[in-house]
């Protein structure tokens, strides 16, 4: 009888232990961001980690790139998450076409994929057999750049001489932000001296702007597709002794640019609420894991940040 009771106790404890382990197993979320050298994505990662810690129901594995053009790192990250059989991949693609085949592999492997921040290319989505209304969680980049572009144009007036510093040509948000700026150029009859890329990077933007200042000494305003490039542009303008003569706007609302706005070295930027963006995408992903059919565009907000609105 004692042996029987002892065996029963052991079996019972094993069942409880196995049950506890099963209960403790949390879904795993792979977060794939762009360059962590960009303050915007650093704050995004911090926001996602904070959300994961406060929520406590899932394990977060965040991954970033070394630079904005390091596309292979993102592709490898998605492939690794597929191999690890994570439950969800939340992806901000650096290349809207190049990441689509990997997304298709993840979907075929039964992994919930949430595209956020930058839209995947519609044609590439269709060519790879994914639904045309594949889920996207993120801001209206065209609207955001149009709003901040208008803010600049109203300060400078019609026919002002301006330059556009574009993002990575392979990213849809770069195209969308240029589209928003171009709407302003047309509406305010601005004299667009040049539109060129600096691939989202600060140092490249500094070099590009230094050369453009020599080429166009009478430029009055610069529209930058992100704040990292705006930092490089402002540095070039300051080095040329023209900080009071050229107005600069950006996009992202990073802390470094907030300081420049307060100092009067930069005119405005766009807040797309980066710290909350990945968290919002993860929340939508869990709706999918619970069986909800989610597709199309889940919009997140944008607003202009200027000296008047900074607190």
Burial 280-311 (b: 16+ CB within 10 A, else e): bbbebbbebeeeeeeeeebebebebbeeeeee
pLDDT given at position 24:
63
Q: Which residues pair with 284 in a beta bridge?
A: none
Q: From start to end of the chain, where are the E strands?
A: 28-35, 59-65, 88-91, 112-116, 136-139, 161-166, 191-197, 221-224, 247-249, 268-271, 297-300, 303-306
Per the CB < 8 A criterion, the answer to whether 185 and 148 are in contact is no
Per the CB < 8 A criterion, the answer to whether 294 and 135 are in contact is yes
Would you put residue 180 in left (φ > 0), alpha (ψ -120 to 50) or beta? alpha
Domain with CATH 3.40.50.2300 in the chain: 27-139+273-298, 141-271
Find the helix or strand (DSSP H, E) in which 54 lies. helix 39-55
Burial label for 103, CB within 10 Å (0-12, 13-18, 19+), is buried
Per the CB < 8 A criterion, the answer to whether 36 and 45 are in contact is yes
pLDDT given at position 70:
87
pLDDT given at position 68:
84
Tell me the average confidence (pLDDT) per consecutive run of 10 residues in the chain, 311 residues long.
Answer: 44 42 76 94 96 98 90 96 98 96 98 97 97 96 98 98 96 96 98 98 98 98 98 98 98 97 98 95 97 95 96 73
As a whole number of angstroms, the distance between CA 192 and CA 176 comes to 17
Task: Report the predicted TM-score, pTM, of the whole model to 2 decimal places.
Answer: 0.86
pLDDT given at position 5:
41
pLDDT given at position 28:
98
Which CATH architecture is the domain 141-271 placed in?
A: 3-Layer(aba) Sandwich (3.40)
pLDDT given at position 69:
83
Assigned CATH for 27-139+273-298: 3.40.50.2300
């Amino acid at each position: 009888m004692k042996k029987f009771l002892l065996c029963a106790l052991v079996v019972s404890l094993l069942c409880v232990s196995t049950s506890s382990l099963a209960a403790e197993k949390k879904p795993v979320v792979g977060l794939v961001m762009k360059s962590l050298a960009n303050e915007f994505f650093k704050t995004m990662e911090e926001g996602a980690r904070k959300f994961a810690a406060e929520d406590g129901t899932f394990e977060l594995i965040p991954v970033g790139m070394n630079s904005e053009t390091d596309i292979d790192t993102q592709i490898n990250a998605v492939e690794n998450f597929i191999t690890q059989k994570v439950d969800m991949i939340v992806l901000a693609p650096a290349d809207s076409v190049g990441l689509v085949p990997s997304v298709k592999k993840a979907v075929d492997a039964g992994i919930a994929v949430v595209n956020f921040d930058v839209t995947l290319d519609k044609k590439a989505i269709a060519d790879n057999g994914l639904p045309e209304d594949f889920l996207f969680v993120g801001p209206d980049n065209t609207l955001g750049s149009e709003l901040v572009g208008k803010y600049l144009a109203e300060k400078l007036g019609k026919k002002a001489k301006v330059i556009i510093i574009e993002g990575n040509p392979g990213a849809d948000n770069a195209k969308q932000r240029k589209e928003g700026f171009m709407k302003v150029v047309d509406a305010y009859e601005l004299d667009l001296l040049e539109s060129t890329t600096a691939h989202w990077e600060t140092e490249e933007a500094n070099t590009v702007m230094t050369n453009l200042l020599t080429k166009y000494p009478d430029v009055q305003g610069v529209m930058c597709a992100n704040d990292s490039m705006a930092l490089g542009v402002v540095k070039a303008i300051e080095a040329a002794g023209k900080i009071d003569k050229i107005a600069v706007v950006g996009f992202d609302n990073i802390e470094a640019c907030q300081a420049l706005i307060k100092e009067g070295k930069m005119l405005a930027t766009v807040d797309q609420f980066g710290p909350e963006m990945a968290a919002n995408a993860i929340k939508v992903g869990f709706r999918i894991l619970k069986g909800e059919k989610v597709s199309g565009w889940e919009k997140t907000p944008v607003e202009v940040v200027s000296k008047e609105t900074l607190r």
